A and B are shown apart, each in its own frame.
Chain A
Amino acid sequence: MSKPEKLLEIKDLCVEFGNKKKKYVAVNHVNFDIYKGETLGLVGESGSGKTTIGRAIIRINETSHGDILFKGRKINGKIDKALDQEVIRKIQMIFQDPMASLNERAKVDYIVSEGLYNTRNYRTEEERKQKVEQALLNVGLLPEFASRFPHEFSGGQRQRIGIARTLVMEPELIIADEPISALDVSIRAQVLNLMNDLKKRLGLTYLFIAHDLSVVRFITDRVAVISKGRIVELAETETLYNNPLHPYTKGLLSVIPIPNPRLEKHRKVDFYNPGNHQCDSKTSKWVEAEPGHFVLE
């Protein structure tokens, strides 16, 4: 069986903020690949750099070192217009807060079509309307919603409008930046089901950025754990949850509350103390502890 194609490759990526005097290194020599058709989870706490990586891929943040390769071609730094257009079409992003990620003063029709207008990826007005309708149906919304404004919808519906907006571009890779953190608990399930369903039907690839390890287990094929700008562990999902190797991962797993009262009340929490482990020293190495399971030592 042939090895799956690498859709995205991150090589030795660094992203810095601030000027030369006061530099803040958000992403510190990060390496990982995303294979076509998989959902890769990127998990970390706030300030770990996970959102920065997502935004660097989609070219909102500038990188200071390293390469991002999409289907073998470098897409960070200065690129020509044709490649830029291709990146816009093929790589899309779902944002965290459905209340802030839609333009309140625009109709849903415009919001979903915005990308189409920019890339002129349609021939007639009819075709554009058709694409919008199809996108809305794909996310489980009714086509008549196109003439309404965002404030008329609930959080879950708004998030689905955000997803429709990306689908209409026919992307290959979708970066989902905490897509369900701002949603109600019962709505999260809807959106997760939708994302899985779309993946199967449309052959999408996801980079799923999150801080909630319990959700990630359900939806991802492989998981990377990131802390303070460095990836500390990367493995297939079940392997990571059953056999975490890095102390930070172990610490994270031990503090997730399990919705089981009998178990929870007696659980001993094992707090990760970063002082105990020198994982940000220059001598740390990225080691393959077992096939497909990488750890920073």
Chain B
Amino acid sequence: MSSVLKKPNDRIDETLFTLAEYDARAAELGGYSNYSYWRSTWQVFLKNRVAFALLIIILVLLFFTVIQPYLPNQKLPNEIYLDPATKMQLRNHPPDAEYWFGTNSIGQDLWARIWSGTRTSLYIGVVVGFLTALIGIIVGAIWGYVRKLEHLFTEIYNIFDNIPTTVILVLLTYIMRPSLSTLIFAMCITGWLTVARQIRNLIVIIRDQEYNLASRCLGTSTARVITKNLLPYLVSVIMLRIALAIPIAIGMEVFLTYIGLGLPVDIPSLGNLINEGRLVMMSPSLRYQLFFPAIVLSVITISFYVMGNAFGDAADPRNHV
């Protein structure tokens, strides 16, 4: 507690009643605030236990998909395994000690296929996520900041927005052969729209703030204003968008596989696996072929969504209390 004396006349040293030295420079140095944006963001994020737990789960999952092929006793995903007794294809073998997730209808090991499929799907998700974010940011930034091009970009956006995504995807996959690159290309073409719009809206809000006017007065080029003045404020939004783009892309891939336009069968992916599982869904003993890929897909989707949103909230300076 502060030393407010009740009886000022006793117990004070008389010599204290003399002028003290005044240091003007020391007065200037008053350290003002130790607020660090990223530190506060991380702290708020940590308070959300669920999001943090999911972050751990995702990291473990990612780690595992990478090291899985190097573990001992792993099977190959595309190899058709034969029953040692009958020398026949080991079709629809339920999960046991040898085949942890069982085998599918032509005898392939489901455990290996699921991890291979997860790798592929995550690869698609991350690549599409980053590419759409990149295109979206560039387009959104120019759209929002350069007034002369605003009208043109709005028209372009409207055109793209009005054509149903599915139609574009179907067309592209039909024209080009179904393959990994086709799929990624097709998803990028349609995925940048939402990002662009969001970035553009935010830029419109901050483009006339005084510090941007100051930059213009100092002759700063448009590119420099966008990269140094505007985008740093949008980092949290950008990361949120990427975090959400990953499950969206994976979901899109599943959907395309469902309608027959996904990856070729020899490249396992979560979409392929779920599709195969769907075909045998009806018989109870074979349902495991749907469960396992569905569970993996659900965990990934839920984790990225929750984490992405939690991070977006944490990155909002208004929540930094």
Interface residues on B, range: 20 to 34
Query: Are B32 and A114 in contact, CB atoms less than 8 angstroms apart?
Result: no
Asked if A100 contacts B219 (CB within 8 A), the reply is no
**A100:B32 contact, CB within 8 angstroms:** no
A155, closest chain B residue (CB): B32
Segment from B14-22, B71-79, B228-236 that makes contact with A: B228-236
> What string of 1s and 0s marks CB contacts (under 8 Å) between B25-56 and chain A?
10011111111010000000000000000000
Write out the residue numbers on chain B whose beta carbons fall within 8 Å of the beta carbon of A151.
32-33, 35
Give residues of chain A (63-104) contacting chain B, Cβ–Cβ below 8 Å: 84-85, 88, 92-93, 95-97, 100-104
| A142-B29, A152-B32 known; A103 vs B217 contact (CB < 8 Å) | no
Contact B211 A88 (CB under 8 A): no
The 28 listed contacts between A and B (C-beta, < 8 Å) are A60-B213, A60-B216, A60-B217, A92-B217, A92-B218, A93-B214, A95-B213, A100-B209, A100-B211, A101-B211, A101-B214, A102-B211, A102-B214, A103-B211, A103-B229, A105-B228, A106-B228, A110-B228, A114-B218, A115-B218, A118-B218, A118-B224, A140-B28, A142-B28, A151-B32, A152-B32, A152-B33, A154-B30
CA distance A104 to B206 in the complex (A): 13
B220 at the interface (CB under 8 A from A): yes
Are A101 and B210 touching (Cβ within 8 A)? yes
> What 1/0 mask marks residues of chain A from 148 to 160 whose CB sits below 8 Å from any chain B CB?
0001111001000
Asked if A103 contacts B228 (CB within 8 A), the reply is yes
Additional 11 contacts, C-beta under 8 A, given A60-B217, A100-B210, A103-B232? A55-B213, A60-B216, A95-B210, A95-B214, A103-B229, A104-B211, A114-B215, A114-B220, A117-B220, A142-B25, A154-B30
Residue of B nearest to A119 (CB): B219
| Complex alpha-carbon distance, A101 and B29, angstroms | 22
Q: How far does the Cβ of B147 sit from chain A's closest Cβ, in whole Å?
A: 12
Q: How far is the CB of B32 from chain A (nearest CB, A)?
A: 5
Q: Contacting B217 at CB < 8 Å: which of A93, A100, A117?
A: A93
Determine the chain A residues whose CB is within 8 A of the CB of B32 once the complex forms.
151-154, 157
Q: CA A109 – CA B147 in complex, angstroms?
A: 30
CB neighbors of A among B91-126 (8 A): none
Contacts of B319 in A (CB 8 A): none
Q: Is the CB of B283 closer than 8 A to any CB of chain A?
A: no
What A residues does B35 contact at CB under 8 A? 151
**Which A residues touch B2, using CB under 8 A?**
none
- Interface presence of B3 (CB below 8 A): no
- Quick check: is B221 within 8 A (CB to CB) of the other chain? yes
B contact residues around A92 at 8 Å (CB): 217-218
Contact status B31-A58, CB under 8 Å: no
Cα–Cα distance between A154 and B37 once the two chains are bound (Å)? 17
**Contact across chains for A169 and B211 when beta carbons are under 8 A apart:** no
| Binary per-residue interface labels of chain A (40-71) against chain B in the complex, 1 for a CB within 8 Å, 0 otherwise | 00000000000000010010100000000000
| A104 CA / B214 CA spacing, docked (Å) | 13
- When chains A and B are docked, how far (Å) is the Cα of A52 from the Cα of B214? 15
Given the interface pairs A103-B229, A106-B228, A152-B33, the reply to whether A165 lies near B214 with Cβ below 8 Å is: yes
In the complex, which residues of chain B have a beta carbon less than 8 angstroms from the beta carbon of A117? 220
| A152: nearest chain-B partner, CB-CB | B32
Cβ contacts A98-133/B at 8 Å (1 or 0 each): 001111111000100011011100000000000000
CA distance A162 to B217 in the complex (A): 12
Q: Collect the chain A residues with CB atoms within 8 Å of residue B224's CB.
A: 118
Interface centre among B30, B32, B211 (most CB of A within 10 A): B211
**Which A residues lie within 8 Å of B219 (CB)?**
84-85, 88, 115, 118-119
How far apart are the CA atoms of A154 and B33 in the complex, in Å? 9
7 closest cross-chain pairs (CB), A and B = A105-B232, A115-B218, A101-B210, A88-B219, A118-B219, A100-B210, A95-B210
Which of B37, B210, B228 is close to A96, meaning CB atoms less than 8 Å apart?
B210
Bound together, the chains give a CA A154 to CA B217 distance in angstroms of 24
Q: B30, B210, B220, B229: which has the most chain A beta carbons within 10 Å?
A: B210
From B25, B210, B215, give the contact of A97 (CB < 8 A). Answer: B210
- Give residues 136-179 of A contacting B (CB, 8 Å): 140-142, 151-154, 157, 162, 165, 169
- Taking a contact as CB atoms under 8 Å apart, the answer to whether A58 and B217 are in contact is yes
Assess whether B214 is in contact with A118, with CB atoms less than 8 Å apart.
no
Q: Which residues in B have their C-beta under 8 angstroms from that of A60?
A: 213, 216-217
Q: How far is the CB of A143 from chain B (nearest CB, A)?
A: 12
B150: min CB distance to chain A, Å: 15
- B10 shortest CB reach to chain A, Å: 36
- Residues of chain A within 8 A of B232, CB atoms compared: 103, 105-106
**Cα–Cα distance between A97 and B212 once the two chains are bound (Å):** 13
A55 to B217, CA, bound (A): 9
Taken together as a complex, chains A and B put the C-alpha atoms of A166 and B68 apart, in Å, by 59
A106 contacts which chain B residues (CB < 8 A)? 228-229, 232
- Name the interface residues of A189-231: CB closer than 8 Å to any CB of B: none
Q: Which single member of A140, A152, A153, A162 contacts B214 (CB below 8 Å)?
A: A162
Name which of B216, B219, B228, B232 has the most chain A CB atoms within 10 A of its CB.
Answer: B219
Residue in A95, A102, A118 whose CB lies within 8 Å of B221: A118
Q: A142 CA to B28 CA in the complex, in Å?
A: 9
Residue in B29, B37, B209, B218 whose CB lies within 8 Å of A165: B218
Chain B residue numbers with a CB within 8 Å of A169 are 218
How long is the Cα–Cα vector from A153 to B28 in the complex, in angstroms?
A: 10
Q: How far, in angstroms, from A88 to B218 measured CA to CA in the complex?
A: 6
- Nearest CB on B from A165, distance (A): 7
CA distance A128 to B221 in the complex (A): 19
User: How many Å lie between the Cα of A60 and that of B35 in the bound state?
Assistant: 33
What is the chain A residue whose CB lies nearest that of B212?
A103
The chain A residue with its CB closest to the CB of B28 is A142
